[in-house]
Structure 1
């Protein structure tokens, strides 16, 4: 699904706001040993590496070997050595915990919608140690306004691909049934708290065009021989909308923390 996205992801995807990473770092509390965090759907480590720099030992899990390879290279470039990269499905969390021991916490950043969420949470109940947490992170909080240029991008994808709901070259995206917070409340991690924080995102024209290569619905693999035409059309459309080449939006990120009720008491 994310073929061809690894290298562009490292270059064009923005890190999560510092307030989000700082908040996550408070969740493992006063661990007597280096906190062990499981990052599911890690991609090339966009969140993984920031958590490692906050002192966590992170097991980074993704189904894409391309993403993991990009993550290993990125970690080496940043001289980060406290990450273990694993190719596995998110539902294998319990197996990973049996191999290495239970985790202080689990993070899932902008990836939960791709997963069998109920099955993943069931597996995490066996993977997270008592007192631990599950954190679902989104660059945009549910129900909040998207970037103003989102509608323009949707129109272009319809023009070039015939659908705004692709999930890779040959798969249609299926919208999850129910919000992430609702799913957490129905799991073992039903004691829920939510952080929302505003932040500003700014791109140049080249950055915004490159960003489209990181999405399953507009990646080079999905567009194929239409990529050059799509990106040329995109540049024209965005330039007409913003001749100065500066694209800025105020967004609201969200962190949904789930804990077992007995642990949160």
Structure 2
């Protein structure tokens, strides 16, 4: 794990502001149920690391929580979680999943824009906040400024990614990109009708330019495996290849996907090694 302490005025670093999506709640339309069924939970090393960032039991805000992929794992380890997402569909699936896992009382769900958490009535303060595989969908600077108002002194912000920036993607990723381009065109989509906005500045630089500029980074290798059915189902969890985005092209896309993947991997088992990353920001001690 690497650690760096910022110096000077953290807000003096120039960072391009992120574009806002007009309908953030619609980006993952139709993804709720597939997300619970096919998205892999975060590696235990990452979950264990997060549970030791604050006091026990910690009160933690999960922004862009989806159906609770990370929130419920943290709740199982004793954290008190408030999950925030712009998609009511995702939160509804999260409530069902929490009930199935006996965690209905452990997570509070709020359907709001993550950038407005400092204005939510009776939200209170938190020991920390996590943002897992969702930071790229948010107005990152606004979110971090809002968190500066609701995360207590000494608290943390943790940006979690299933794949560390600059590390290789799954070996089958280029095949999926070509198939999406064939069926949907060259541009990535943020849901059914909105182009995806590519960010100019990486997450770590944005955190360093925020009030949480004292940064530590954890990287952890892990193995991931899917059957053919699981890998096909996984595509319905992504905004750029969801059922809502594909529409009437879904059946043709899936048939093409199955044929292509079966050709390159007749065994039907797809395995890879990835490297997860956790970027943890805290305020300077002088604050």
TM (normalized to structure 1)? 0.96
Residue in 1 aligned with 2:163? Answer: 140
Of 75, 85, 90, the match for 2:109: 85
Aligned residues between the structures: 260
- The answer as to 2:130 corresponding to 1:104 is no
| 2: CA distance, partners of 1:63 / 1:164 | 24
Please, which moves more after superposition, 162-171 or 129-138?
A: 162-171
1:100 Cα shift? 2.9
Matches within 5 A, 1:163-202: 163-202=186-225
- The answer as to 2:148 corresponding to 1:125 is yes
| 2: CA distance, partners of 1:50 / 1:169 | 30
TM (normalized to structure 2)? 0.89
Of 228, 249, 253, the match for 2:272: 249
1:262 Cα shift? 1.5
C-alpha contact (below 8 Å) 1:139/1:252 kept by paired residues? yes
Of 13, 38, 42, the match for 2:65: 42
Moved over 2 A (4+): none
Question: For 2:52, what is the secondary structure of its paired residue?
Answer: helix
Of 158, 173, 177, the match for 1:150: 173
| 1: CA distance, partners of 2:260 / 2:286 | 51
C-alpha contact (below 8 Å) 1:37/1:104 kept by paired residues? yes
| 1: CA distance, partners of 2:194 / 2:161 | 23
1:164 Cα shift? 4.3
C-alpha contact (below 8 Å) 2:223/2:273 kept by paired residues? yes
Any gaps of 5 or more consecutive residues in structure 1? none
Of 12, 17, 27, the match for 2:38: 12
Between Structure 1 and Structure 2, the one with more helix by share is: 1
Residue in 1 aligned with 2:253? Answer: 230
Instruction: Write the deviation string for residues 142-164 of structure 1: whole angstroms up to 9, x where unpaired.
Output: 00000000000000000000124
Question: For 1:99, what is the secondary structure of its paired residue?
Answer: coil
Question: For 1:192, what is the secondary structure of its paired residue?
Answer: strand
Instruction: Write the deviation string for residues 171-203 of structure 1: whole angstroms up to 9, x where unpaired.
Output: 000111201000000000000000000000000
C-alpha contact (below 8 Å) 1:103/1:128 kept by paired residues? yes
Instruction: Write the deviation string for residues 103-158 of structure 1: whole angstroms up to 9, x where unpaired.
Output: 00000000000000001101110010011000000000000000000000000000
| 1: CA distance, partners of 2:145 / 2:254 | 41
Please, which moves more after superposition, 179-188 or 157-166?
A: 157-166
C-alpha contact (below 8 Å) 1:131/1:263 kept by paired residues? no
Of 84, 100, 121, the match for 1:61: 84
- The answer as to 2:243 corresponding to 1:217 is no
Instruction: Write the deviation string for residues 60-79 of structure 1: whole angstroms up to 9, x where unpaired.
Output: 00000000000000000000
Any gaps of 5 or more consecutive residues in structure 2? 1-26
C-alpha contact (below 8 Å) 1:205/1:247 kept by paired residues? yes
1:263 Cα shift? 7.0
Please, which moves more after superposition, 53-62 or 160-169?
A: 160-169
